[in-house]
Amino acid sequence: MMQATATPAPATDAAGAADEPSLHGNALIKPGYHERLTNEDLAPLRRQTWGTYNIFAFWMSDVHSVGGYITAGSLFALGLSSWQVLVSLLVGILIVQFFCNLVAKPSQVTGTPYPVICRASFGVLGANIPAVIRGLIAVAWYGIQTYLASSAFLVLALHFFPALAPCADAKLHGFAGLSALGWCAFMTLWVLQALVFWNGMETIRRFIDWAGPAVYVVMIALAIWLVQKAGWQNVNLTLSFLKYSGWDAVPVMLTAIALVVSYFSGPMLNFGDFSRYAKHFHSVKRGNFWGLPVNFLGFSLLTVITTSATLPVFGKLITDPVETVSHIDSTFAMLLGAFTFMTATIGINIVANFVSPAFDFSNVSPKHISWRTGGMIAAVASIFITPWNLYHNPQVIHYTLDVLGAFIGPLFGILIADYYLVRRQRVVVDDLYTMSPHGRYWYRKGYNPAAIATMIPAAAIPILCVVLPAWQQLANYSWFIGMGIALALYRLLAPRLMPAHFDKTT
């Protein structure tokens, strides 16, 4: 699979002579592959073993989290009717499914992770631009998700050991804005995630294979218990008073659709890190179908039923599942619920915010940074950004994450435009690993000027939507704006700015 084309050619090194690949675990590394671009984790895969269920389980782990629960529930509080919200959810998730299928194919066909396939569009050295941007976004979210998961651990600790309450007060016993007990909870979750990650992708695959379904079982049990306590007739599936009807509801529905796409934009961008392991592209498409529209709608319905039932049961609307669990009288139910939501958040953190920077940072210096080292760089960095301070300061998190997020759409647009519109789905894998000036993806000193020229306006306009008050009504659509500009601009610039001696179809 050394050339991802309809008519494979013999694999060649930088000099053009056929070479036999050397086997490093599951990696195929040829003698001509440059050490500045290659290690065992970034090289093409020798065997691709994931099936439909593994991709389905990946999306279950990505959807079944505290963040996913709150996001789905919040859409039902926009003032829309239940059917309008469900239509918005369905349209949004179908858009996500469509784009995930697009971004999955180049990595599945070539067996390479996201930062490596970006070498085709950005150049073999320029690929570090999207890699570092995606890695930084993952670091921020990794810390925040770990902090959210640790809150469930904190609830359990205070339930069983109420005398620890003073240690949970950051003003009495705290450091850097987090209480002593909060530090213990955060670091416990930090270490647990690191242990799963350190054991490699096969352990991660096994973890997500059971984590997603386990959350479903507990969510169903929680929903049944709450509905029984409330009485079905007292459960209102519209979480807010109806504010919009007719054509007035359309802009709000479009906002809901955009929010769904934005929520999944990070994992969607680097989905190739996982689709590369799939046996067939059809397995990816089937896994995406069951994991996205089917699974997401099912989880959303469970979420709104559970959230709606909290009002008659507890006398207030609770959108945080950890807080819901903390109100349950049963110690066993609280223990099971808190453990489940910790597991769910660990699942999404590993698949969305650990694996991605592991490949991304490794791509910067493959000789010195392995996949495991790259992941641990992200994990350690997530502590130093003090994510609890980020999370509790809406203005800081708004500008930090939204500005970084404004780059995701353009990066996605460039990747798709390059693979489908410029190269017509033809990538020569060997040239992704060569520093030869004659390599197809060397461009100008390892950087593709077309991709860099596209990134500047395609990212600048979404950033302006975030930071300028007059443009902030467009902020929810920043992913679409950036992606659309990049798609069109790269398609226009690529044939003009690529060096004339390069074959632009490969």
CB 378 within 8 A of CB 395: no
Residue 179's SS3 state is strand
The pLDDT value recorded for residue 155 is 80
Among 247, 132, 499, 198, CA closest to 354: 198
Structure tokens at 72: 């789905």
In-domain check, residue 504: no
For residues 139 and 485, give the distance between their C-alpha atoms in angstroms, rounded to a whole number.
26
Residue 23 pLDDT: 52
pLDDT score recorded for residue 351: 82
Looking at residue 199, which CATH number applies to its domain?
Answer: 1.10.4160.10
Cβ within 8 Å of residue 174, ≥6 positions away: 180, 182
pLDDT of residue 5: 45
Domain with 59 in it: 3-497
What's the total number of domains in the chain? 1
pLDDT mean values, one per 10 residues, the chain (506 residues): 40 40 74 93 94 93 76 74 84 95 97 97 96 90 85 82 88 88 92 87 86 83 88 78 75 88 90 96 97 90 86 84 78 78 80 89 94 92 88 65 80 97 94 94 94 96 88 86 96 81 51
* Within a domain: 20: yes
DSSP assigned state of 133:
H
Q: How far apart are CA 232 and CA 125, in angstroms?
A: 59
Side chain identity, residue 506: T
* Distance separating alpha carbons of residues 99 and 101, to the nearest angstrom: 5
At 10, which amino acid appears?
Answer: P
State the pairing for strand pair 3-4/22-24. unpaired
Query: Quick check: is 397 in a domain?
Result: yes
Q: Is residue 505 part of a domain?
A: no
Counts of helices then strands in the chain (DSSP H, E) = 21, 6
- In the prediction, which pLDDT does 398 show? 58
Q: Which residue has the tokens 């669990």?
A: 325
Provide the whole-model pTM. Answer: 0.86
Amino acid at 260: V
Q: Give the helix, strand, coil percentages of the chain, each rounded to 5.
A: 70, 5, 25
